Amino acid sequence: MRKNSSIFSVFAVSLLLSAFSLAFTTGCDGDEPISVFVATDNSGKTITSLDLNDYNGVITINLKSSAPWFVTDKPNWISMPMEGIGSGAVSIKAINNTGTERKGVIRLVTLAGGQINLNITQKAFTSLIPGALTFSSLGGVQFIQVIANTTWSITGLGSAGWLTMEPSAGNGNTTIKVTAQPNSSETQEQIAILTYTEQGREAKSLVIAQEKGTATSPVTPELNVYPSSLNFSGNGETKDIIVMSNTVWAVSSSQTWLKVSPTAGNGTQTVSVTAEENSSASATRTAVLSFTSPEIATPVDIQITQNQGAAKLIINPKQVTFGYLGGRETIEITSNASYTITPWGGTWATGYSSPGFAGTTTINLEAPLNPSDQARTMTLQVTLFGGAMSETITIYQEKNPAKKADPYGGAVVESIDYLDYGWDYSWNEMKDLRTKIEETFTDNINLWPSDLKSAYQAFGATIGLSLFAMKEYRTQLISNEIIYEYTKSWVPAGTTLTVRLDDITEMGVSQTITASVEAKASVAIASVSGSISYASARTVTTTKGIGSDYSWDLREYEQNKEYKVVLVGAYKVCKYEGYIYADGVPFSEVFHYSVPFIKVDENSLRILLISRDL
């Protein structure tokens, strides 16, 4: 029987659903379909969207339906009936929103094919944390956090003279400082019921209570500080600490970089704490604020930390220029961390060291002579440890103008006169000879070399008395010859060459010229007679107008050569040879004279700086 009853029940339900379906889809006369499914508000107006508060978000809508309905989709933060039969009120509730504004869609359908889509929006979370406050009879300071995304205000403070709020109105998220004065009443606690209003929202009540005073027992001294620790940015800033007390107190800082104001007070008060900028870019630092009272044995310590400061790297100047001779330039580096210095593009500038350390460092940058005819540049990359900051110093040096030493092409040998007389030397010929000698030396016979003077006079005395033959009278000019070397050795470039011209000696000049005579005029040194003019050798100091000391800065000259200072000039070598024979047969030689003479041309003397390749 149970089996038959079960079969009957299923059959009955099936018939019932079929009947409902027929009723909802066919009119009374069976001709036209009927399908009603809409959502309305309390005024009967059709709605397609809903707005819910962030808290207690509940709304009731009216569904008009001619058929059973079902919810096929909804946000997970919405609760509501999932199905129904026919028309009626439906309550839709949102879970309290703790975040930003959120949206969704509720979809409802009927067996008759009807469908409703409701767009639903819940406002962002807004609240007071905490929603109520209680103070002791001593009063003090507490804080309320406002979480809002629009304007708000708190009213009702006028009737609570023992209570202040800063601020009592604002826009957006804010921290409210609530200060309660001590309650002197021993029988009555104090209560303030304030109203929190936010634009577009329902008003809320904010209840603040204070305990009644207790006169029967002595007041216990209290000293509380809020917050118990502070952290400051490395750039430095000011923050407040609230001292909640019923007695006198004082505060001191363990570090000079941390300042407080005021440093003492009585009762509840706000203390401003200022941390100076942390000069270190690599280290945090700590301090302690110690609050004490003569009535309280144990101080209240507030732990202070400050982050490391921002990286600082100041270089002055960032660019230096050296002349080609080099020199020294000063650069100042100021940093709040250690750093490295890396050269780029060369290492010719010196005077820096790496690593460097925090603080101010003066670098005496030095550059040597620039040997090149091209300007040069190098840089120093200054980088704080960790790469937090980097700066570049540019070092420039002018090109070397590269002076050139005077060219020296060597001595030139030139024959400028030649006489060759035969026998019977006449008086006229003697005059011609004297003219040549005077051209070489002077017209004052007394200034001739003594040997030449004696020979000339001897020859002249024999004219007409004896036979005379001049073999030759020859004059050679040796020009552009190094007569004296002031520096015996070659001097490298890059230094200063100084000579003392008054150190020149007759012997030095004589030795140089006699060596030249042997080489250039093919006359043996031993055969040279007469002396070289000592006055001529000394004229470089006087007639040339040069002081006793003279210097050449070889840093200004070509650097791939070496140098020497010399005296260059011209001199004449006069070779005079003659014979005197007595009359008679055979002839007998009475006198024979043969000697070269030397004469330096003072006007040709010049000092040269000469060079040769390395």
pLDDT tier at 48, thresholds 50, 70, 90: very high
Instruction: Supply the pLDDT for residue 4.
Output: 41
pLDDT tier at 24, thresholds 50, 70, 90: very low
Q: What is the mean pLDDT of residues 582-606?
A: 62
* Interatomic CA distance for residues 232 and 51, integer angstroms: 43
Of 108, 106, 130, 128, nearest to 118 by C-alpha is 106
79 HSE (CA, 13 A, CB side): 7
2.102.10.10, 1.10.8.50, 2.30.110.10, 2.60.40.10: CATH of 127-210 = 2.60.40.10
Higher pLDDT, 32 or 117: 117
Question: Topology of domain 313-397, per CATH?
Answer: Immunoglobulin-like (2.60.40)
The class of domain 37-122 in CATH terms is mainly beta
Q: What is the mean pLDDT of residues 538-546?
A: 43
- Percentage of the chain beyond pLDDT 90 is 24
Domain ranges for the chain, please list them: 37-122, 127-210, 223-306, 313-397, 412-613
* Interatomic CA distance for residues 115 and 72, integer angstroms: 10
Q: Specify the CATH number of the domain 223-306.
A: 2.60.40.10
User: Using CA atoms in the order 459, 465, 466, 471, what is the torsion angle rounded to 10 degrees?
Assistant: 30
Cite the beta strand spans of 86-203 per DSSP E.
Answer: 88-94, 102-110, 115-122, 127-129, 132-135, 140-147, 151-155, 163-166, 169-171, 174-180, 190-198
> pLDDT tens digits for 270-318?
899 999 998 887 788 999 999 999 889 999 999 999 998 888 889 999 9
Which helix (H) or strand (E) segment holds residue 514: the answer is helix 506-516
37-122 and 313-397, same CATH topology: yes
> pLDDT tens digits for 344-387?
888 899 988 888 888 899 999 999 888 888 899 999 999 988 77
> pLDDT tens digits for 74-108?
999 999 999 988 889 999 998 887 777 899 999 99
Higher pLDDT, 215 or 64: 64
Instruction: Supply the pLDDT for residue 522.
Output: 61
pLDDT above 70 (res 576): no
One-character DSSP codes across 153-174 = EEE-GGG-TTEEEE-SEEESSE
Say if residues 112 and 38 touch (Cβ distance below 8 Å).
Answer: no
Bridge partner residues of 160 (DSSP): none
Instruction: Supply the pLDDT for residue 11.
Output: 38
What mean pLDDT, rounded, does the chain reach?
78
Token pair belonging to 83: 């199905």
Judged by DSSP in three states, 408 sits in coil
pTM of the entire predicted model = 0.40
Output DSSP code: residue 424: S
* Interatomic CA distance for residues 58 and 60, integer angstroms: 7
Query: From the DSSP assignment, how many helices (H) and strands (E) are in the chain?
Result: 5, 41
